[in-house]
A and B are shown apart, each in its own frame.
Chain A
């Protein structure tokens, strides 16, 4: 940012952390973790250093798409309470800077992943960035209530990219990990939409709560959670599963479905009375759910690698 821009915006100088915030560090953490699990769950060993930097470049690619998302969505981020403190609406970073950073890091991460791992994984990362920015952010987000459902695919690709780093291709196991995150995303974001009040409404984003109403959203959360539970437990019988995964998936999904049933049974008056306590708890549980499920996959992969699986 030039001096003149800084003066023009009438704000304080953007610091390094503000540029880092453009990369959505919390989303990056999820990308790092799931890509890491995909990499380790693959049956091909990767040199630890190559594996580590590959995951890093996948995360940078994820961060780049986050910056491009903030550039494109700066107008609605200004309106929504949840996003108005992001660097662009806060006036710390100019939209053009976010755009430049996003495009530069996109190219950088794809080329570096290609050089570090393989060009299939790099192409997959490029497609993921394209999907999140062009398909989700620019097209679906403002045009259909299915935005979160289809757009969720972008967040579900990282374990497949991790798998591709090791194997150079895709597989059923990678697709199962994709399916877990893909089906998990809608209930996670719809729960958020329920307790964010009229944020999406004000921003003209056609979230399910806006287009189909809050009652329908509660029904959809339950339906998607049940389908997710079936996939998650079913995956226990595939190559990524095992006894530990199966027990974990069973307990987590019972817990998660109970949460979805509670949301489904509630009226708006109930939710307003306790300030969406159940919806907030479900949202937090969803974060733990995904983390625990992927930790179980990681443990199974570790046991498999050290030949302990047969003992359980």
Chain B
């Protein structure tokens, strides 16, 4: 079984799709990094304590 050859559209939009892909990867890394920072700093614990009063 072979892969279908790329449609002309895929070739034409390769740069664009690659750019969007990299932005999404960067976004995931940012959310992950923020989560790590907030958890290790105890921000979520403080917020939960505030909610509980």
Contacts and interface: CB of A to CB of B under 8 A. Distances in A.
B45 interface: no
Contact of A49 (B9, B20, B37): B37
Interface of A: 3, 13-17, 19-20, 47, 49-50, 53, 56, 115-116
Interface residues of B, number: 13
Contacts of B16: 13-16, 19
B15 A15 contact: yes
Interface in B11-34: 12-13, 15-16, 18-20, 30, 33-34
12 contacts: A13-B12, A13-B13, A14-B16, A15-B16, A16-B15, A16-B16, A17-B15, A19-B19, A49-B37, A50-B34, A56-B30, A116-B34
A3 B9 CA distance: 9
A47 B12 contact: no
Contact of B41 (A16, A17, A47, A116): A47
A19 B17 CA distance: 12
B34 A115 contact: yes
Nearest to B16: A16
A54 B32 CA distance: 14
A16 B19 contact: yes
Interface of B: 9, 12-13, 15-16, 18-20, 30, 33-34, 37, 41
Nearest to A12: B12
Contacts of B15: 15-17
Nearest to A14: B16
Given A13-B12, A53-B30, A47 B37 contact: yes
Given A3-B9, A53-B30, A16 B18 contact: yes
A215 B42 CA distance: 60
Contacts of B41: 47
Contacts of A50: 34, 37
Contacts of A15: 15-16, 19
Contact of A53 (B9, B18, B19, B33): B33
Given A16-B18, A16-B19, A47-B41, A53 B12 contact: no
Contacts of A3: 9
A155 B15 CA distance: 31
B33 A49 contact: yes
A14 B20 CA distance: 13
A31 to B, nearest CB: 18
A19 B20 CA distance: 10
Contacts of A115: 34
Q: Report the 5 A-B pairs with minimum CB-CB distance, sorted nearest first.
A: A16-B19, A16-B16, A15-B15, A49-B37, A13-B12
Contacts of B34: 49-50, 53, 115-116
B31 to A, nearest CB: 9
B6 to A, nearest CB: 15
A169 B33 CA distance: 25
Contacts of B9: 3
B35 to A, nearest CB: 10
Contacts of A20: 19
A15 B20 CA distance: 11
Nearest to A112: B30
Contacts of A47: 37, 41
Given A15-B19, A16-B16, 16 more contacts: A13-B12, A13-B16, A15-B15, A15-B16, A16-B18, A16-B19, A17-B15, A17-B19, A20-B19, A47-B37, A49-B37, A50-B34, A50-B37, A53-B30, A53-B33, A116-B34
